[in-house]
Amino acid sequence: MAEQHQATNPDQAQETRRQRAGAAALLVGLIGTLAFFALWPGLPHVIDWGAIVAAIAVGGLARWICQSWMTGTAQKKSARS
């Protein structure tokens, strides 16, 4: 059995982690916003184009916040070392 071992540098691993967390934040923001429009009492419980655009915007904002937070945390850790 020949296994291929690829040495990943810490920066590449951190970037992969940041991208995955950003994708998760996008999905959570998107699904959370659509659930809000679909289930909140008093709203018409209709998913229209406005709700979809708002969900995409909230998901994008959540992704941006998550990635910038993770980048700032990584920079603080590297500055301490």
- In this structure, is residue 32 part of a structural domain? yes
Please report whether residue 57 resides in a domain: yes
Predicted pLDDT of residue 9: 74
Q: Give the pLDDT confidence of 25-34 residue by residue, as tens digits.
A: 999 999 999 9
In a domain, 23, yes or no: yes
Residue 13, domain member (yes or no):
no
Would 6 be classed as within a structural domain?
Answer: no
pLDDT at 3: 57
Evaluate if residue 41 carries a pLDDT over 90.
Answer: no
Asked whether the predicted pLDDT for residue 7 surpasses 70, the reply is no
| Residue 10 covered by a domain | no
**pLDDT given for residue 28 in this prediction:** 96
DSSP state of 81: -
Contact 28, 58 (CB under 8 A): no
Q: Is residue 26 part of a domain?
A: yes
Structure tokens at 63: 């992704």
Structural domain count, the chain: 1
CA–CA separation, 57 and 39 (whole Å): 19
Is residue 81 included in any domain, yes or no? no
* Structural domain for 67, as ranges: 18-75
pLDDT of residue 19: 92
